[in-house]
Structure 1
Amino acid sequence: MHVSHLSLLDFRSYAQVDVEFEPGINALVGPNGQGKTNLVEAVGYVATLGSHRVSTDAALIRAGAPRAVVRSRIVRGDRASVVEIEITAGKANRARINRSPAQRPRDVLGIARTVLFAPEDLVLVKGDPDARRRFLDELTVLLVPRMAGVLSDYDRVLRQRSALLKSAGAARRSSAGPDLRTLDVWDAKLAQVGAQIVALRESLVAELLPHVALAYEQVSAGQGEAHVAYRSSLAGVLADGADPAEGPDAPASAATGSRADALEAQMLEALALVRAKELERGVCLVGPHRDDVVLTLGGLPAKGYASHGESWSFALALRLASWRLLTEGPSAGSSAEAMWFAESGDDAEPVLILDDVFAELDSRRRSRLADLVAGAGQVLITAAVAEDVPEQLVGVRIDVGGGSATRAR
């Protein structure tokens, strides 16, 4: 698949702009601050309904404008789809597919697929667990679009249950005492939805592992072995009553459906074990919102031990692994294979976006990355100067500046 056209109205710095892309390499070149990243951010937004730079949509609307519109034409084989998303501050977004209104904005998920690597991705290695959880969840939605609804349901249940824990904790300290019957209901909901998320995350990490190891070896020329593992808050509670945040790595998953059933029962058991602590603290101590992805390099934690260059290479390896997994699909015979293909519908190669990446890499890593992506179906690159784009990546050049984006002659 590839993106053939992008049109923006009042998005970020652009009052209005139209850009034509081609399959293969597309380099957006222009001085810093001219809007290159805004263009690739918009392409990524069509695929994920989120930005890699900000957590809320309000910043995507041009200052002084009431709304922003992102329109993109996505080509898959001999079929083309036009996706339009209207972003309005303080209101629900609206989406159209081939000019017909979508029932919900998330109905567009799965039409376009992108993998974006940017300087902000260093947080995957150096940052807190929430960045790594978000990385997994965004990739999960690209593979299984219905999971967007499951993740939304989990956030809603978690907020409700957390509010109830706080009020019940306050009542517990009073003479009246809390009524915990409603908490039992929310425990069941949290376990049911949370188990689906953890089962898919475990399966996803298992599928990513060989791709991450290979990508890191290729980018770094074999300087260390990269490893990823899923760490569940659930495992530690059930193992020995340890603090949920310090549980051991989750076991390898069986078939995803049966694994989710087992996780649901285990999560209910763990919630019962930590209820007293939860009421005391007023927070939910078990669930996918407390889990982490453990990144190690040469047997040592990447966070705190990896150099700046190694951290860059690891973050890049995570994105390259995502791109390969989306392109190739899960391994034959794996627990994820049938479900992912049945629910996603195909294994179309995603658009690979490299936002201001080559300027941050040394010449050796730059050349190796260029060799790895040169044959991709479509690559969008941003660079301040044309010299930052390696010679291996010859293709279309689009000059960006002054609020416009024009094809170089």
Structure 2
Amino acid sequence: MYVRHLALLEYRSWAAVDVPLSPGVNVIVGRNGVGKTNLVEALGYLATQSSHRVSGDQPLVRRGAGQAVVRGAVVHDGRELLLELEINPGKANRARLNRAPATRTRDLLGILRTVLFAPEDLAIVRGDPSERRQFMDELLVMRTPRYAGVKADYDRALKQRNSLLKSAGARRRSGGPDLSVLEVWDEALADFGSQLLAGRMAMVGALRPYMVAAYADVAPESEPAGMVYRTSLGDLPEDTPVEELRVAYLDEIARRRGNELDRGITLVGPHRDELELLLGPGPAKGYASHGESWSMALALRLGAFGLLRADGIAPVLVLDDVFAELDSSRRASLARWVAGADQVVITAAVGADVPAALVGRQLLVENGSITEVDTGSTPAGSDEQDGHEQPTADPGTPA
């Protein structure tokens, strides 16, 4: 799988830009502030429909514009698909596949798979549990797109149930609340929550060996890494069937009913769970050094890359300005992993930060434009090298 062409309209700092990409290694070089990260952020958005930098869509639209468009030509097994997302802050986003409108934007999920490693990933290790839950859910949806619908249904049920808990708690203090409506949402939350929980637990079990191996490679001098999924339902095996999780969910909701009414908030469910990252026998958060935290974040992304590739579809690997943050040994380890990718997109302020082993297509960003740099050699993994013809369809200028 690879992206042959990326086109943006009114996205971040780019009024309009076309980015040609190749299989193998693509290095985007430019000084800080010229818009390199905006390009790879858009690439990730096309895959996940979310940004690795902000939680909402408004900052993605160029100032003064009403909407932004991200369009990419994705090639997999010789077939090219044209994906387009129209970003409309405050309104529903719209999607097109091969220029035909999609019923839902999430219908595009799973067509393009990416794994993006960026400086912001330190928050997965050092930040709040919500950062680790987001990491899990993005990877879960990448592997199995139907979980996007499960997560959306869970979030809607959670929002409605929290509203009912708040009002029921107020009536409880003034008389006696009618809990019949709340019980309906208990069932809905348990249905969607047990599905999401089962998906997460199975995914963590599948990811663990890849993450542990990646950490041992990038930080061989450190204690071994690990991860444990902590549920708000107590200790449960990772292979617990969905129906058993649903029963446990309803039992725990009933047990904590009084506390939830007092606080006016749902205390049980995947939104309260934690992915605990381990370094040796203890937690990594609060104990890992800066270098160990970087290695842990990198191992999570490389583990995700390994897991997705084992599923049968190698994702596009995106490395946003990370080589400057790594020492020589970690750069070498990362370069070894990168070598096996169908496509890698790297950003760097200085081309010399990228290991010499990662020779490929180089694009220079300056003065609001992108030009290809003649490196004097055939880019690694290019069509000239593998003997395949380049597809001729072009996504054109977004509209």
Normalising by the smaller structure, the TM-score range is over 0.9
Separation (CA, whole Å) in 2 of partners of 1:157 and 1:252:
24
| Alignment partners' CA distance in 2, 1:220 and 1:261 | 40
Which among 363, 366, 380 is matched to residue 328 of structure 2? 363
TM-aligned CA deviation for residue 375 of structure 1: 2.5
Q: Tell me which stretches of 4 or more aligned residues in structure 1 moved more than 3 Å.
A: none
Match of 1:252 among 238, 241, 252: 238
Q: Is the 8 A contact 1:11 1:70 kept in 2?
A: yes
CA distance in 1, matches of 2:366, 2:202: 43
Per-residue CA distance 1:294-327 (angstroms, 9 max, x = gap) = 1111112100110000000001000000011000
Alignment partners' CA distance in 2, 1:62 and 1:288? 35
Say if 2:348 is the partner of 1:383: yes
Aligned-partner SS, 1:63: coil
CA contact (8 A) 1:215 1:321 kept: yes
Equivalent pairs, count: 374
SS at match of 1:73: strand
Aligned residue number for residue 117 of structure 1: 117
What whole-Å deviation, never above 9, does each CA across 1:208-265 have from its counterpart, x for those lacking one? 1110110000111242100011000011xxxxxxxxxxxx4x32314xxxx1111001
Can you list the C-alpha shifts for 1:15-68, whole angstroms capped at 9, x where unaligned?
Answer: 000010000100000000000000000110110000000101111000001110
Residue correspondence of structure 1 range 7-86 to structure 2 within 5 A:
7-86=7-86
SS of the aligned residue for 2:298 comes to: helix
- What amino acid is the match of 1:47? A
- Give the counterpart letter for 2:324 in structure 1: A
Answer whether contact 1:25 1:394 (CA < 8 A) is retained. Answer: yes
Q: Which moved more, 1:353-362 or 1:397-406?
A: 397-406
1:321 and 2:303 aligned? yes
Unpaired runs of at least 5, structure 1: 236-247, 330-346
Q: 1:224 is aligned with what amino acid?
A: E
**What percentage of residue pairs aligned between the two structures are identical?**
57
**Distance in 2, Cα, partners of 1:8 & 1:402:** 17
Offset, 1:126 = 0.4
TM-score w.r.t. length of structure 2: 0.93
More helix by share: 1
Task: Check conservation: 1:216, 1:222, Cα contact below 8 A.
Answer: no
Please show how residues 9-408 of structure 1 align to structure 2 within 5 Å.
9-175=9-175, 177-235=176-234, 248=235, 250-254=236-240, 259-329=241-311, 347-408=312-373
Letter in 1 for 2:60: L
Measured on the aligned residues, the alpha-carbon RMSD in Å equals: 0.8
* Unaligned 5+ runs, structure 2: 375-399
Residues 65-101 of structure 1: CA distance to partner in whole angstroms, max 9, x if unpaired? 1110111000002100000111112110111100100
Matched AA of 1:295: L
* Cα drift, residue 348 of structure 1: 1.3
Q: Distance in 2 between matches of 1:296 and 1:161?
A: 33
The 8 Å contact of residues 125 and 315 in structure 1, kept in 2 or not, is answered as yes
In structure 1, how many angstroms separate the alpha carbons of the residues matched to 2:151 and 2:221?
Answer: 37
- Secondary structure, counterpart of 2:341 in structure 1: coil
Query: Could you give the per-residue CA deviations for residues 92-123 of structure 1, whole angstroms, max 9, x where no partner exists?
Result: 01111001000111111111000000000001
The letter of the residue matching 1:296 is L
Match of 1:116, SS state, is strand
Task: Determine the C-alpha separation between the residues in 1 that align with 2:121 and 2:96.
Answer: 30
